Amino acid sequence: MPAGAGSNRAMVPFLANMKAVCIRAPHAATVARMALRIAPTLACILVVVFTPAHFARHEFPVFRVVLDPGHGGRSMRPISLYGDRYDSISGAYLDIYKEGAALYGIHEHVIMYAIARHAERMLAHCAPGGNFAAFRAILARYTDVEPQRITIETSLSRPDSRNESAVRGRSDPNEQFRLFDFPGTNGTLREGRLSVINARRPHLVVSLHCATDGPPKYRGLNPVIVAPYGMLYEGLRYLKGERQTPNFFYRSAYRDWFSESSARPDIDWFIKDVSVYFTGYPPAGYPSKGSRFKGYRYNMVSWAYRDPAGWEFRAWHHPDRTPYAIKYRGFNASNAFWERERSVYERHRRDGGPEGYGGDNHYASAEIIRYVLYSLYVDAGRRSHPDERLTRPYISIWSVPLHVNAINAFVELGYLRIPHHRHMLSSRQLEIAEGIAVGVYSLLAGVTPRSSNLAQPPRGKRIDFGKYSISPSKNYFDCAAHD
């Protein structure tokens, strides 16, 4: 339905009420005087209220989406000036800034920004006052069912990074691209991308990445997910000695943990991440890049779950029975962030769900990939390539899915060392972007996909956002913003 098509129907009850007022008026003269008095006001109401933009914003469900293209910036030294993960306890950056994958002159941050920008333009047809007929034409490539009209307000998490000489010429090339908050030139903290994302209160964040290379079993396109609190807490119990064996890990759907190298088994990398997640430190004897202390990441974001001002003084000595304890037995998950982690909403985001595990985050990530594959398949004359497939997820304690309340569709769109992926990412960006845009719409409204010969077709199931409702006027996605 065109954006303003409901205007005349919406006027009927309004004018009917006006008619009822006139009928109840006791004298014709009174009615006439009333009409003269309200005519200017009524005209203003008609102009302001009955406009296509108003109905595009209020007549249809409204969703907020952030497209989050990975990286940007420069990996530069010294870390004290150009680093990442600023720690307000020590007043220093804890790690070098990572500018993203690059190979054969192809840069992840350039490709992902270009794809995100294309997808943003397509989703703009669903914005207030947008040309939904144009988006309906895109959807017609995927479904025979008339789509539901919804409103999608889309934004990007970062600015353009494609002009590398301009980025390098800045006094701080990384200031617009860091995930975490960082000190500005005047000494005050500036918001990183995670803080910016949470301030927008999105329902869905789509994080776009690619990698240089990966293990053979991950060859394809991958979801990237964070394990639920319950799984990580069992790891803490194992570190405390309350669990004698790690059988809980091997029996879990999350056992295929992200490995930093093949020198250790998956269980070791899981234990390392559990230790960092709860205490900020890896276990003794584990390798560590950069500072051994990885920081309290939830306190590196301006959001509702940051500890109150002055927390650094308490954390400095890592006292027992606090969230800042180094000893596992002394750790006490007793602040707003840990209450959030134990909440039913985080279970919805990160556990169970349509994929069987990983919650709505896993489903959203996998579904975006399935729509990308569908778009590539349709564009190639309904043919698919063996390297165009959805494969297993990377599971760890990744920063973005852990530090937003939105559903996070985090995807690795391929590997630069694979020739077909290089071609796909360089030459078929519009098709990839279209798959992302249609996938976003499907996650918000649902789509009945046209049948195909794809081995992994989209499911078309919308996310049940109702389970994230806290009250009639508030949902979980609203809660992350720092007031």
Is residue 2 situated within a structural domain? no
Note whether residue 294 is domain-resident.
Answer: yes
Residues 95 and 53 occupy one common structural domain: no
Total count of domains within the chain: 2
Q: Is residue 284 part of a domain?
A: yes
Quick one: 29 and 144 in the same domain?
no
Task: Indicate whether 95 and 152 sit together in one domain.
Answer: yes
Boundary residue ending a domain (33, 58, 83) = 58
69 plus 40 within the same structural domain? no
Name the H helices within 163-286.
164-168, 193-199, 229-240, 247-250, 266-279
Within a domain: residue 239? yes
Closest to 392 in 3D by CA, of 361, 366, 421: 366
pLDDT at site 173: 85
> Does a structural domain hold residue 336?
yes
1 located within any domain: no
CA dist list (Å): 395 to 93, 415, 428:
25, 17, 28
Co-location of 86 and 149 in the same domain: yes
pLDDT in tens, the chain (483 residues): 333 333 333 333 333 333 333 323 334 444 344 443 444 443 333 333 333 333 344 456 899 999 999 999 888 889 888 899 999 999 999 999 998 999 999 999 999 999 999 999 999 999 999 999 999 999 999 999 999 999 999 999 998 887 777 666 677 889 889 999 999 878 889 999 999 999 999 999 999 999 999 999 999 999 999 999 999 999 999 999 999 999 999 999 999 999 888 888 999 999 999 999 999 999 988 777 767 899 999 999 999 999 999 999 999 999 999 999 999 999 999 999 999 999 999 999 999 999 999 999 999 999 999 999 999 998 877 677 899 999 999 999 999 999 999 999 999 999 999 999 999 999 999 999 999 999 999 999 999 999 888 899 999 999 999 999 999 889 999 999 987
Cis ω for the linkage preceding 78 (within 30 of 0)? yes
Q: Do residue 101 and residue 177 come from a single domain?
A: yes
pLDDT of 290 reads: 65
Question: Residues 190, 147: one domain?
Answer: yes
Domain closes at, from 34, 58, 82: 58
Contact assessment for residue 206 and residue 367, using Cβ atoms and an 8 Å cutoff: no
Decide if 194 contacts 404 (C-beta within 8 A): yes
Burial class (CB in 10 A: 0-12, 13-18, 19+), 483: exposed
Q: Could you tell me the CATH number of the domain that includes residue 357?
A: 3.40.630.40
> pTM to 2 decimals?
0.86
**Same domain membership, residue 152 and residue 23:** no
Q: What pLDDT is attached to residue 59?
A: 59
Single residue among 58, 73, 88 that ends a domain in this structure = 58
Residue with tokens 């779950």: 305
For residues 31 and 95, state if they share a domain: no
- The domain of 29 spans 7-58
Question: With contact defined as beta carbons under 8 Å apart, do 463 and 407 qualify?
Answer: yes
Instruction: Spell out the residues 6+ positions from residue 148 whose beta carbon is closer than 8 angstroms to its own.
Output: 445, 446
Residue 240 near residue 325, CB atoms below 8 Å = no
How many residues can be counted in the chain?
A: 483
Q: Is the domain of 445 the same as that of 459?
A: yes
Asked if 137 and 216 sit in the same domain, the reply is: yes
- Asked whether residue 202 falls in the same domain as residue 154, the answer is yes
d(CA 361, CA 351): 9
Q: Tokens 């065109």 map to which residue?
A: 2
| Three-state DSSP state, 469 | strand
